[in-house]
Structure 1
Amino acid sequence: MECSSVLYSNDAMRRQVSPGTGTVKRIGIVLFGGFALPETAAVVEVFQSVKLLTEGERRDAVRYDVSLLSVTGGRIVSSSSVFVWTEGIDVRRDQERFHALFIAGGAGVNDALRDERLIAWLRRMHPRADLVFPIGEGQLLLDGAGFRLAPTIRRHAVYIDEIMRLGVGNGDGSSAAVASPLQTAIALVEEDFGSEIARQVADWVAPSADTRFTAIVRKNASVGVSENVKASAKWLEANAHRPISIDDAAQIACMSERNFLRRFKIEMGVTPSDYLLYVRLDMSCRLLVETTLPVDKVARHCGIGCGGRLAKLFRKHLATTPTEYRVSKRS
């Protein structure tokens, strides 16, 4: 069974993070066959969350145009067998500049190093980007293009000091001089939107506080979960805001729907439908605490539909209402 579904696409990204007004800043993320999905997805999620957290603000504010790029364009497979749709590196031509250019890492980096078109493009584009930053083994591609100095974070970003102290993106609590890709993306947001939005983005992408559903959602990273089931769980998380079918998730796992339902329940401890519900409730809890969005909008953003349905789910699973939950967590 061929895996034909995708986690992200450029068209979907532009609908989410690049309205047609205000100052537009291009964010490029360079991918290749066998790139590491989790680290790359975290960077993408930073810029996705900005749109959500700044909805309804001034129409002349900064907007991010995020492009997933590869040498040939089209469908690129990650190291976890999830397909991502990309734009060819030459589509927009070299005269355009990037506000930031992230270079993915992963198991396929050695093959990417042998791609002369990619290395030549990096050499041309590096001077035309305000910031170029590797994701893991992406530094090897920059080395191959002749840029051997590891980039450091822009130190005039105030909130990044706190991010690095907490170890967001590093996982070790260190305050190293070289930030992670996630820290760097958050620092860019701070420069454009201020420390409060940066804090909310950091809490959203790497939350410091758990909800009742967090442990269930995070189980997709457990050692005992197979790569195919992990990939389907991540796909459910990434697409929870829209109507989706379990058959779509089964395709991500490269299984029949019947086998997928059985394997997912065994490995994750819940059915795919319940997992999707818990992802949406976890997202709702975070939005209620970290934003001022009305309950109806929270429900729509989390794929739940309307405030009435969200209230019903909260009463069933949390024995409270969304408004009461928001007040209790902020007090």
Structure 2
Amino acid sequence: MKNYSRDYRRYATQPRGLTDEHTVRRVGLTLFNGFSLPEAALILEAFHCANARVKADGADGIRFDVSLLSVAGGKIASSSSVFVWTDSVDSPVHAGDFHALFVAGGVGVQDALRDNRLIAWLQRIQPHSQRIFPIDGGRLLLQAAGFHPGDSDPLQAALSLIGNDLGVEAARQIAQRLEQRLEDQSLAIVRKDTSIIVSDQIRASARWLEMNAYRPIAMEEVAQVASMSERNFLRRFKLEMGKTPSDYLLLVRLSRCCHLLAETDLPVDKVARRCGISSGGRLSKVLRKHLGVTPIEYRASRRKSTDSK
């Protein structure tokens, strides 16, 4: 997993303090049906933590006003079938400049690319947003709108914005809290056999695998994230993580399948495909191998456990 508490600092180049007379930073998070919830939730959590810190300090400091946006507004479904409420991008409330705008990714991005209203809005909003950051597949939407976004990690970008206004120490503490949350979200089987010391390059590649697990991935892509040759990357990843990148990716997908089995009523085949596993039959084989149960048995056991509490 990427070390955000250290790496965000290289993005935080602006001096601390107000850049104008206002104390509210308007941040937009653009969503669409089928967006990836975990990555978007981390961005939201970062700014929530920043606001909570300012409130706890009792200071009249910067406040981040974060808005969830979609073309039509209203209820939007994430790729894991969790619904969130959004404001329309055309709402008068959201007229004017954004301090930062994040554009979500996820399995629904291909449908979003065909939404001319969304692409047109991104084209219109660009001159009114100081910074625009894609979240993984959100890069495709920005490219369709004629932008060429940089390669900065969106969570690191959010932390750098916070650090610029609240200071390096505040951003570092928030990064540590988010890192702990990321760890807590993973199954023990994903972390099993991982070395205590993992290099930043391998952590970055593991995090990239986690964020892109829903789609087909070539090992050449991941090696590029780690800035290594494919051969050297495969060797280093196995040495430091205790498993091959392919095995790690499969376990990440299995972890997400377990979450959907426990939290939703989606058919097993649909759960598998949403998490990057080819079919329900394939998911059943993997689940039996690692946990000794079928998807139906796993779902039933989790429901029973929840009902008994």
TM-score higher than 0.5: yes
Match of 2:177 in 1: 204
C-alpha separation in 2, matches of 1:84 and 1:207: 24
Which runs of structure 2 are paired with 1:232-251 in the superposition (5 Å)?
Answer: none
Match of 2:84 in 1: 84
Aligned residues with identical type, % of pairs? 41
1:262 to partner: Cα distance:
7.2
Given that 1:82 and 1:231 are in contact with CA atoms closer than 8 Å, whether structure 2 keeps it comes out as no
Which runs of structure 2 are paired with 1:62-211 in the superposition (5 Å)?
Answer: 62-92=62-92, 95-147=95-147, 149-151=148-150, 178-207=151-180
Q: How many residue pairs were aligned?
A: 203
Q: Deviation string for 1:282-317 (max 9, x for gaps)?
A: xxxxxxxxxxxxxxxxxxxxxxxxxxxxxxxxxxxx
1:68 to partner: Cα distance:
0.6
C-alpha separation in 1, matches of 2:48 and 2:190: 20
C-alpha separation in 2, matches of 1:218 and 1:53: 32
Q: Deviation string for 1:121-145 (max 9, x for gaps)?
A: 1111111111100001111111111
- Tell me: CA distance 1:84–1:127, structure 2 relative to 1, closer, same or farther (3 Å): same
Equivalent AA in structure 1 for residue 81 of structure 2: S
Q: Deviation string for 1:98-140 (max 9, x for gaps)?
A: 1100001111112111111111111111111111000011111
- Tell me: CA distance 1:105–1:222, structure 2 relative to 1, closer, same or farther (3 Å): closer
Which secondary structure state, in structure 2, belongs to the residue aligned with residue 140 of structure 1? helix
1:33 to partner: Cα distance:
0.9
Q: Is 1:224 aligned to residue 258 of structure 2?
A: no
- Tell me: CA distance 1:53–1:262, structure 2 relative to 1, closer, same or farther (3 Å): farther
C-alpha separation in 2, matches of 1:29 and 1:224: 28
Given that 2:142 and 2:149 are in contact with CA atoms closer than 8 Å, whether structure 1 keeps it comes out as no
Given that 1:261 and 1:271 are in contact with CA atoms closer than 8 Å, whether structure 2 keeps it comes out as no
The gaps in structure 2 that reach 5 residues or longer are 1-21, 192-250, 268-294
Given that 1:225 and 1:267 are in contact with CA atoms closer than 8 Å, whether structure 2 keeps it comes out as no
C-alpha separation in 2, matches of 1:216 and 1:45: 23
Given that 1:102 and 1:133 are in contact with CA atoms closer than 8 Å, whether structure 2 keeps it comes out as yes
Equivalent AA in structure 1 for residue 149 of structure 2: A
Which secondary structure state, in structure 1, belongs to the residue aligned with residue 55 of structure 2? coil
The gaps in structure 1 that reach 5 residues or longer are 1-21, 152-177, 234-248, 278-331
Which secondary structure state, in structure 1, belongs to the residue aligned with residue 177 of structure 2? helix
Which secondary structure state, in structure 2, belongs to the residue aligned with residue 202 of structure 1? helix
- Tell me: CA distance 1:195–1:36, structure 2 relative to 1, closer, same or farther (3 Å): same
Q: Is 1:271 aligned to residue 269 of structure 2?
A: no
C-alpha separation in 2, matches of 1:42 and 1:208: 9
1:232 to partner: Cα distance:
8.1
Bigger proportion of residues as helix? 2
- Tell me: CA distance 1:209–1:102, structure 2 relative to 1, closer, same or farther (3 Å): closer
Which secondary structure state, in structure 1, belongs to the residue aligned with residue 91 of structure 2? coil
- Tell me: CA distance 1:61–1:123, structure 2 relative to 1, closer, same or farther (3 Å): same
- Tell me: CA distance 1:222–1:67, structure 2 relative to 1, closer, same or farther (3 Å): same
1:43 to partner: Cα distance:
0.9
Q: Which has the higher contact order (CA 8 A, sep 6+)?
A: 2
C-alpha separation in 1, matches of 2:131 and 2:181: 28
Equivalent AA in structure 2 for residue 194 of structure 1: G
C-alpha separation in 1, matches of 2:138 and 2:119: 12
Match of 1:27 in 2: 27
